[in-house]
Amino acid sequence: MGLDENENVRKRMEPLLFPMYTTPLSRQVEWLRVHPIWVMDSCLPSPRVRRGGEERRGEERRGEARRGEARQDGLGEARRHGRGEERRDGRGEEETGEKRRGEARRARRGEATRAGIGEQLQEMEMEMMQSRFKRICVFCGSSPGKKNSYQDAAIELGQELVSKDIDLVYGGGSIGLMGLISQAVYDGGRHVIGVIPKTLMPREITGETVGEVKAVADMHSRKAEMAKHSDAFIALPGGYGTLEELLEVITWAQLGIHDKPVGLLNVDGYYNFLLSFIDTAVEEGFISPDARHIIVSAPTAKELVKKMEEYVPRHERVASKLSWEREQLGYSPKCDVSRYRR
């Protein structure tokens, strides 16, 4: 029983037991013998109090049991939650690992695809960069001209030839526009062939020459040798010599002696008057319209080379190419000329 109940019992018993404290022992015994049940009933809690205490104790026990169950449930839930978290973490790690492996596989496939595409693009670029020409003959002046644009054009043409892996054939001089273009091609790592008459060597060669120099007997031999080593012709700005060389290879093309493209690098409109003259000759009936297309012209080196790559002859051939090569270039009738047959 609780403290409050003990206090209540004590208060109830004091008036009943007080006579016993003031009487002899024999009288106390007699009194207890007469009132034993009453005294005991007075000392004990009432049934209602007992039931209340039992109910409280039962409630306390049930509460303790519920708390114990709650603790057990909490521990079980914690364990289950922990196992669930572990399972989820494990699944999450597996999913993350699989995702990473998938990304790695996709990245490898992407790299392989990009590498394959890159190789294809490189091959396409190489094919586009490769020219149909191995060597181009350039006619130009042994003077630099008054405009810097002429000199810049010579250097740009040399660089364009280098970018397309084209070698240079030229007049062999080391001064003027000839010196500029030959140096540009030589510095770019391409082969340079210079063809020059012996009589002009002191005049057109100063200092060290670049590439290979071929000395020939005269101007006619010079043009024939340059044509033999070239797949196309380009004229930069120049004087009488440049015009003479240009018009001769145009005439050879018109006659059918060769079918190689002939280009004019029309720097700052330098050749406008020449083109106008040729157009006038066409209008007056001295040059056929098809022969007019022998000349390809453009203001820049890149555009000119591109047009020459696309050139297709449209004019009629008059002379035999095989006969001309044998006679003009000094081939003996006994030599093997089968390589010229088409």
- pLDDT at position 209, please? 74
Q: How far is residue 42 from each of residues 7, 10, 222, measured CA to CA in Å? A: 13, 10, 154
Q: What amino acid occupies position 143?
A: S
pLDDT at 337 over 50: no
Q: Is 57 exposed, middle or buried (CB count within 10 Å of its CB: 0-12, 13-18, 19+)?
A: exposed
β pairing state of 192-197 and 295-298: unpaired
Q: Is pLDDT at 298 greater than 60 in this prediction?
A: yes
pLDDT at 143 (0 to 100): 92
| Residue 222 to residue 270: CA distance in whole angstroms | 25
Q: Find the range with the poorest average confidence among 6-15, 74-83, 320-329.
A: 320-329
Name the most confidently modeled range: 44-53, 77-86, 191-200.
191-200
Residue 335 pLDDT exceeds 50: no
Closest to 233 (Cα-Cα) out of 212, 219, 251, 218: 251
Residues 6+ apart with CB under 8 A from 323: none
Give the Cα separation of 196 and 219 in Å (integer): 8
How many percent of the chain have pLDDT more than 70? 63
Strand order in the sheet with 232-235: 212-216, 192-197, 167-170, 135-139, 232-235, 262-265, 295-298
User: Is the pLDDT assigned to residue 283 strictly greater than 50?
Assistant: yes
E strand or H helix at 62: helix 47-129
- With tokens 């000392």, the residue in question is 43
3 state DSSP class of 255: helix
User: Per-residue pLDDT averaged across 21-44, rounded?
Assistant: 56
Question: What integer is the mean pLDDT of 81-105?
Answer: 69
Q: What is the pLDDT of residues 184-222, one digit of tens each?
A: 999 999 999 999 888 887 776 656 778 898 989 888 888
Whole-number Å distance between alpha carbons of 260 and 20 = 155
User: Rounded mean pLDDT of 32-56?
Assistant: 56
Span 137-183, pLDDT tens digits: 999 998 999 999 999 999 999 999 999 999 999 998 888 999 999 99
Q: How far apart are CA 41 and CA 49, in angstroms?
A: 13
- At 339 the pLDDT is 34
**Total Cβ atoms within 10 A of residue 219:** 16
CA 128 to chain centre: 19
Q: Are 237 and 154 in contact (CB under 8 A)?
A: no
Return phi, psi of residue 223, to 5°: -65, -40
Task: Give 104 or 312, the one with higher predicted confidence.
Answer: 312
